[in-house]
A and B are shown apart, each in its own frame.
Chain A
Amino acid sequence: MIVELGHFALVLALATAIYLTVVPIYGAQVGSARLMNVAAPAAGVLFLLTLLSFLSLVNAYVVSDFSVLNVWANSHTDKPLLYKITGVWGNHEGSMLLWVLILTLYGLAVALFSGNLPASLRARVLGVLGAVCVGFLLYIVTVSNPFERIPLDRAPVQGRGLNPILQDPALAAHPPLLYAGYVGFSVTFAFAIAALMEGKVDAAWARWVRPWTLAAWMFLTAGIAMGSWWAYYELGWGGWWFWDPVENASFMPWLAGVALLHSAIVVEKRNSLKVWTVLLAIVSFSLSLIGTFLVRSGVLSSVHAFAVDPERGVFILSLLVFFIGGSLFLYAIRANTLRTGGTFAPISREGALVVNNLLMSAATAAVFIGTLFPLVYEAVTGGGKITVGAPYFNLTFGILIMPLLLLIPVGPMLSWKRADLLPALQRLWVAAVAALIVAFFVVLWVDHRAFKAALGIGVGVWIVVGAIAEMLQRAMLFKAPLKVVLKRLATMPGQMLGMTLAHLGVGLVVMGAIISSTWKQELITSARPGETLKLAGFEITFLDESKVRGPDYVAEQARFQVKKDGRVLGIVTSEKRTFAGRAGMPTTEVGLMYFPTGDLYVAIGDKDSKGRVVRIYFNPFVYFLWLGAAFMVVGGITSLLDRRFRVGVPDRQKIPASAQPAQ
């Protein structure tokens, strides 16, 4: 009954979404305040209906109602409650419902916080969001119904269990975060489309768009980092990024989002680059849609694909064509109505941001082409199959991103409109010296052959020290008394602090990526209990093997004692788990021990004639990657808290801050 209720609520949500699309946009067209005003309440109703539908599916999972096909295929009575709930989005149908739930939540948030927007812009933004909802709800209701029942006489008593590799805390949070990122770009997209309808883009528009872009980008950053971390410790391959099509699918909107964040600054501060920014907003959302398409349609051969299902593929492809094609068409006929703003010299803050956008776009395009090339090739040659692997991406992305990394500290040193390069570079001498010292140190003392890696680490140091130097110079260090400096630091605007933190994070990621991939040590061998293996100065003794039981799995567990310089540091365990209902799919549980210099990583494999296969890695400074991502996210939050983002408060004196909606 509750399941049918959920299904019914979903159909009602579809009807509401159609209403939300048609009425307010028509109202804005004819200038009817009454019709425009229905947008906000309709967005609220839409969210409540979708929430009801989603909760009824969660309920079916919690009570293990196996007469629901989706629950049967992805759950099991012995599963811990957490994984019963996360199982809801550990599959295709449920995850699409989550997608729409987040979309309607964004709609509600826009409705709540947009009270001071011009009425027609608000109606159009909500209307466009409604249209996106219509597309996805239609998809769920027609070809991807999570509430489908198994005929009662055949209803099984036990479920098949969640895909075991998805049964993990990090992966419980990964899809919601990633979706919050993908879907967040729909708000930016809605603003872009509404602006094209209005024929107006101004600083106020940019001030509105930027926090939403920032929020979406932040969630995407966290989601990607979480996914990469999960791949690192769950797949047991010791790697953290594989240039897999699905990873690329989330990486492309992220790159476009970075470009959008930076170009929106130019619109806001200098009223320039408007046409380009609108295009970027459309592109970011299109890439999010393509990301969903790539993952959900199973069109690309990928380790993540849920299922190969052409019917759904065609539907998503039509959605894609409608939204991307439609918005680009609108862009083509309406973009010339947006008047261009201020000019700037090639060497200026704007110029630097343009260069950022060019490099970001080119890098996005390189990833895009590499990801989709096998598809195109297959279509053109009539079935010829090729793979574009890591070497392609490392080469193209690496070459395109390097100049951008070098420019990161320089951009913020340039002034708006017109700037001189030399003084800006002079202010960065500390960063340059630090980078050179570290690079020389690496080549001379650590590894004579690692010339390229030393350069890369130097770039990382350049970014980190450059970001800090910029912040300290902004605080007038050595130019003003210490008290003034501290005060300036404490009252630094959130936007500036956010930028410093995010750039610092990029530097950390660069260093982590280069160090961990250059000096990774690995040992793959077979061993019996009692044997001692040596890697990276560690002595790892295989203690024993035993069978252990979890709530819904049995596992073979191996324990290893870790010693360094004769001192016992502790014990790591690795498991091979077999889950109820998924006997054909064992998973590896990696044993990890963290050190300031890196991670010791132990994974066991199958048994062979010489004992058990053991994989040991030492991944130096790999945690810099996740630390860097955390810096970016914290930077995003800091920037979001900046009071200047609160629309309509250019000046604190005029309106008390408490009268403003929280951002």
Chain B
Amino acid sequence: MTRKQQRLILILSAMAFLSLAVGLILYALRDTIVFFYTPTEMAEKNVQPGTRLRLGGLVEKGSFRQGENGIIHFAVTDTNKSVKVTYKGVLPDLFREGQGVVAEGVLQPDGTFKADTVLAKHDEKYMPREVADSLKKQGLWKHAKDYGEYGADGAKAGKELTQ
């Protein structure tokens, strides 16, 4: 084989392989992506029962309830609409009423949402970005990053410690 032929074989087999890989990636993407909706979007898009999706918003105040067999009930709201969620499992450390949450699961025929994963925000600064965005859209976002608030917060912490 000449040098040219050898290189041609190399390049052709690489191309063939790469197109296979691309095909695999596209196939996997089509079947595994999960859409993210807020309760309002879920109502607007008329999501069919059985669809797998991520639901994001705030945990509605007063909605948390511990049911039978370890099943937990709560509602996710974007203050406009809210969706009832059931979940069996352990909630993350930072799950609180009134705080941001993302639940992944399947919409049931009765309109409730059966979650198999619940994510809460990771620290008090961080909120799932989807939730932050939708809160910003509705004007419910609070900006905490200016000196005034830092100073006040710090002073409060100091007072608590000296007491």
Contacts and interface: CB of A to CB of B under 8 A. Distances in A.
B3 A362 contact: no
A119 interface: no
Contact of A388 (B29, B153, B161): B29
Nearest to A298: B129
Interface string A58-87: 000000001001001100000000000000
A524 B21 contact: no
A615 B25 contact: no
A515 B54 CA distance: 29
Interface in A289-335: 298, 300-301, 303-308
Interface string B120-139: 00111110111011000000
Q: Binding site of B, secondary structure by majority: helix, strand, loop or mixed? A: helix
Interface stretch (B9-17, B77-85, B105-113): B9-17
A365 B21 contact: yes
A158 B123 contact: no
Given A301-B129, A343-B3, A369-B25, A524 B124 contact: no
Contacts of B162: 157
B93 interface: yes
B150 A72 contact: yes
Nearest to B34: A387
A613 B89 CA distance: 10
A345 interface: yes
B34 A386 contact: yes
B29 A370 contact: yes
B32 interface: yes
Nearest to A66: B154
Contacts of A392: 28-29, 32-33
A361 to B, nearest CB: 8
A139 interface: no
A156 B157 contact: yes
A90 B66 CA distance: 36
Interface stretch (A251-259, A602-610, A618-626): A602-610
A524 B29 contact: no
A358 B17 contact: yes
Q: How large is the interface on B (under 10, 10 to 19, 20 to 34, 35 or more residues)?
A: 35 or more
Contacts of B133: 383
Nearest to B9: A346
Given A369-B25, A385-B36, A72 B91 contact: no
Contacts of B91: 605-606
A585 interface: yes
Given A354-B10, A370-B29, A587 B36 contact: no
Contacts of B1: 345
Nearest to B89: A524
A163 interface: yes
Interface string A244-272: 00000000000000000000000000000
Interface in B140-163: 147-148, 150-151, 153-155, 157-158, 161-162
A389 B157 contact: no
Contacts, number: 163
B122 A304 contact: yes
A400 B24 contact: yes
A150 interface: yes
B18 interface: yes
Interface string A500-527: 0000000000000000000000001110
A605 B154 CA distance: 30
Contacts of A151: 147, 151
A158 B28 contact: no
B94 interface: yes
A298 B127 CA distance: 11
Contacts of B119: 303
A366 B25 contact: yes
Contacts of A580: 161
B18 A362 contact: yes
B70 interface: yes
A488 interface: no
| Residue from B28, B89, B125, B148 with most neighbouring chain A CB atoms (10 Å) | B28
A373 B36 contact: no
Given A150-B151, A343-B3, A399-B24, A305 B29 contact: no
Nearest to B156: A156
A160 interface: yes
Contact of A395 (B28, B104, B126, B130): B28
A365 to B, nearest CB: 7
A325 to B, nearest CB: 23
Interface in A542-591: 576, 580-582, 584-588
A593 B9 CA distance: 54
B22 to A, nearest CB: 8
Contact of B126 (A72, A305, A383, A387): A305
Given A385-B35, A608-B66, A160 B89 contact: no
Given A362-B18, A385-B35, A150 B29 contact: no
Interface in B69-103: 70, 89-91, 93-94, 96
Nearest to B88: A524
B147 A158 contact: no
12 contacts: A73-B150, A154-B150, A156-B153, A308-B132, A343-B3, A346-B13, A365-B21, A370-B25, A391-B28, A399-B24, A524-B70, A582-B123
Given A358-B14, A387-B36, 11 more contacts: A66-B154, A72-B154, A156-B155, A160-B154, A301-B129, A354-B14, A373-B29, A383-B133, A385-B37, A387-B54, A526-B70
Interface of A: 66, 69, 72-73, 150-151, 154-160, 163, 165, 236, 298, 300-301, 303-308, 343-346, 354, 358, 362, 365-366, 369-370, 373, 377, 383-389, 391-392, 395-396, 399-400, 524-526, 576, 580-582, 584-588, 605-606, 608-609, 613, 615
